[in-house]
Structure 1
């Protein structure tokens, strides 16, 4: 059976970095696994998904593409220049185990099956299932709907559980840039309190030790204007709504954050953006560091 394939818009000669000749009838995925035993099955699938494989002059992502004796299979070490794009979601890092995205405000991190709305998780599930219908993504680091910045997903339940179990040891840095109302005169400092949810599911803060979960947040002033301050914020602990509550406690609520005291909304979202995620990779053990630029609409307030 012949499988129709669309010609790639990329020049195949750019893809021909490793060439392997086919010795007999087989299928592409099986052939690649046999010829590259040092690569895992998942890694090879990822190369196919990223259009790093061509048969002759034809780039293909098809696992069961039929091969015949004498054909040449080319393997490109670099990903195709084609980018996967979604509205309000951008993939900034992908490997065999993890996907890191930059989420726009207004997009939920996850959504229940009852909520028939798009979420970062549903969009990524759609993406990974283009390569295998059994594929899933599992949230590790999430953001509130009306905030923006870096989020992380695992490609397996095993990796998700490993990271969640050892999160405090694996996480090296998570840094946020935040627009707050008012001029913060103390250029850097820390906030410590104990956080818990009330009956209305709002996180409240207490100065009484053990009256909730201990939360510690560090901040530094980056810029100020007549009405707002831009802060770099590093939470020492990872509690629900921690940054939002702590900045309210300081008397400088986040711009756009009505739930926690914000009265102005100059950036059309809650003015919180996850700028840096750095952690020890759960499989390779290497340091993974991803950085996102400060949103332009944040910076416009301080020109």
Structure 2
């Protein structure tokens, strides 16, 4: 959260103007914990006079484990990168409002706003990025739209896929029941690249890269080839030895919205993938 002062006043008064819905005890806690910067310099004295046209910034809390197993991989004033556990929604639905990553982040970083810029399926684990400012959200959405963000996944699939390396390029169509299908003439183009990392008698471990990011893309593409992701009952898997979908968002790379520096994050895969490497 940033604020430009309108007139000279004590710092605590400026904070009241910046965040009128916050109590004085909350504002003092921000000062005490070192989260307030005035013109880029940390400020803790509530009675310090801050001149007109000064920039006041509320810095994010230090990264720490959040609710429902959400882990913070990176945090600054513009973005937060998290490690999502399986079984947790990315964003709210009409029926589920509180138990999702977006709601957890909004509670953790209030009064800062949190902007979703992409999603992972409920039963997929791994790295995600959320924006903390509108400008960062715009930048990240543009990078997703232009396919400049690199996303790599691990998937444990049924059977042995041939060829061992390839590209799946189809149209994906979502029906009225919200199920996604490969379709010859309807839908949006979806492209998934894959390569085999390890093979066993009945399973194969794949690394996959998304060129596009459509709903359920990896799951539908692999099911279309006759090799559904293990645990994916929705798209044809008859095997569920792990009690979860064997799909993990391993890496996430993008350009920082403000600094323009390349950012690269790795989410440690759950043990079920390591056992199959």
Q: TM-score, normalised by structure 1?
A: 0.70
Note closer, same or farther for the CA distance 1:52–1:170 as it changes in structure 2 (3 Å cut): farther
Shift in Å, 1:29:
10
**SS in structure 2 opposite 1:160?**
helix
2:69 paired with 1:66: no
Contact preservation (8 Å) 1:88, 1:107: no
- 1:165-209 Cα deviation digits (max 9, x unpaired): 342446341000011111224221111111111122111102x3x
Contact preservation (8 Å) 2:63, 2:75: no
Contact preservation (8 Å) 1:106, 1:145: yes
- 1:135-188 Cα deviation digits (max 9, x unpaired): 221111210111110111111233223322342446341000011111224221
Given candidates 136, 139, 143, the residue that maps to 2:116 is 139
Given candidates 242, 246, 254, the residue that maps to 1:267 is 242
* d(CA) in 1 for partners of 2:46, 2:269: 47
Displacement over 4 Å in runs of 4+? 28-31, 48-54, 62-65, 79-82
Note closer, same or farther for the CA distance 1:204–1:158 as it changes in structure 2 (3 Å cut): same
Q: Structure 1: which 5+ residue stretches go unaligned?
A: 1-24, 32-44, 55-61, 69-78
Shift in Å, 1:113:
5.8
Shift in Å, 1:100:
0.7
2:211 paired with 1:230: no
Contact preservation (8 Å) 1:257, 1:270: yes
Note closer, same or farther for the CA distance 1:192–1:29 as it changes in structure 2 (3 Å cut): farther
| Number of equivalent positions | 241
* d(CA) in 1 for partners of 2:182, 2:169: 9
Given candidates 213, 221, 242, the residue that maps to 2:188 is 213
Given candidates 124, 147, 154, the residue that maps to 1:177 is 154
In the other structure, the counterpart of 1:292 is 267
Given candidates 71, 79, 102, the residue that maps to 1:98 is 79
Contact preservation (8 Å) 2:31, 2:46: no
Q: TM-score, normalised by structure 2?
A: 0.76
* d(CA) in 2 for partners of 1:162, 1:297: 35
Larger radius of gyration: 1
**SS in structure 2 opposite 1:141?**
coil
**SS in structure 2 opposite 1:164?**
helix
Q: Structure 2: which 5+ residue stretches go unaligned?
A: 1-8, 16-26, 37-41, 49-59
Contact preservation (8 Å) 2:31, 2:44: no
* d(CA) in 1 for partners of 2:216, 2:271: 24
- 1:62-112 Cα deviation digits (max 9, x unpaired): 9875368xxxxxxxxxx9987343332101011111111000011110113
**SS in structure 2 opposite 1:151?**
strand
In the other structure, the counterpart of 2:173 is 196
